[in-house]
Amino acid sequence: MKKQKPPWLQRIPVDPNKLSFDELRYFKDVDAFLSEPVYGPEGLVYFLRCFKLLTVFAMTCVAENRYPPLTRCWEDLEKFFIDKHAFQDVVFVQAWIFFDFPFGNDGETLLDFYEEYLKNEIKKDHFQCFVDQMRKSRMGLYQEILSSRKTIKFRELITEQTTTIARNDEAFEKGEIFLTRLVEFKGQILQLGGAKRFPKADESKLLKLVRENLTCFNGSTEKEQYENLMKLAGPFWLSFLTSSASFPVLKSTHYHHYLKE
């Protein structure tokens, strides 16, 4: 009697005979990730469910080596941060790889290729808000200036822009600085994934760190340089947050490393 494949193996979008053991393990983990229930506000549930489906598309692209720079980036950052569980949530590292890494010939990110893929999907309109918001999003450094039980008012370092978001961090100190990604859903601003936080005393240190790297990025103003830094320097921030004596901080332009043949 022929042994039936487990349900998760039947659902993967590539031929399992072409995958290595590690790649099969990744897809099993992704299937478990997809099967987890999602709780929270409507907008957060929507974004996380869409993110989960994007993850399947991303892992298919990596397994097939459809875009070699993406594969190099994933394997490198997976080794440095994901496989070592440097970050507890499953959004922080992956979000930069999927949303911000410009690996296409014309600077496209995975979102651009995912949007093209969705053109043939019946529910493509359902995902458009997700794609549009993720394309606009980036990491930012936001300082708490006022908070209530339901909201937090942020002032972004460098840009000085203020934003009020729905609160999903239970406890933090006055003036703490959040490294996080903000998205909008039906007029409400939300944090996507967990924030990495710094005490108020680190403000001058963070400003110095940002300004030391601004000149590496294009922009006619300091604000534009900052926005490009926060969009493109994902590996730098990841290594900064997890740096130790055995792991140096990566350059803010480290993403170029994955674009080389």
Burial zone of 206 (CB within 10 Å; 0-12 exposed, 13-18 middle, 19+ buried): middle
φ, ψ for residue 49, nearest 5 deg = -65, -40
State residue 1's pLDDT score.
46
Q: Quick one: CA dihedral 80, 82, 84, 85, positive or negative?
A: positive
Residue 224 resides in a domain: no
78 within domain boundaries: yes
Give the pLDDT score at 37. Answer: 77
For residue 13, being part of any structural domain is answered with yes
The reported pLDDT for the residue numbered 81 is 83
pLDDT of residue 120: 83
Report yes or no on 165 lying in a domain: no
Q: Which whole-number Å values give the CA distances from 219 to 34, 129, 139, 233, in the listed order?
A: 39, 27, 17, 15
**Nearest Cα residue to 194 out of 235, 156, 241:** 241
pTM: 0.85
pLDDT tens for each residue of 55-79: 889 988 998 899 999 999 999 998 8
**Successive 10-residue mean pLDDT values, the chain, 261 residues:** 55 66 68 73 90 88 93 91 69 92 96 92 87 95 94 95 87 91 93 88 96 95 96 94 76 94 67
Pairing status of strand 177-185 against strand 162-166: unpaired
Q: What is the pLDDT at residue 184?
A: 94
Give the tens place of pLDDT for each residue, 175-184: 999 999 999 9
Number of structural domains the chain divides into: 1
Place of tokens 């099967």: 35
Q: What is the predicted pLDDT for the residue at 242?
A: 80
Instruction: Flag whether 213 is in a domain.
Output: no
Is residue 33, in this structure, part of any structural domain at all? yes
Tell me whether residue 23 is in a domain: yes
Range of the domain at 80: 7-135
Residue 253 lies in a domain: no
Check residue 124 and give its pLDDT.
84
Residue type at position 172: F
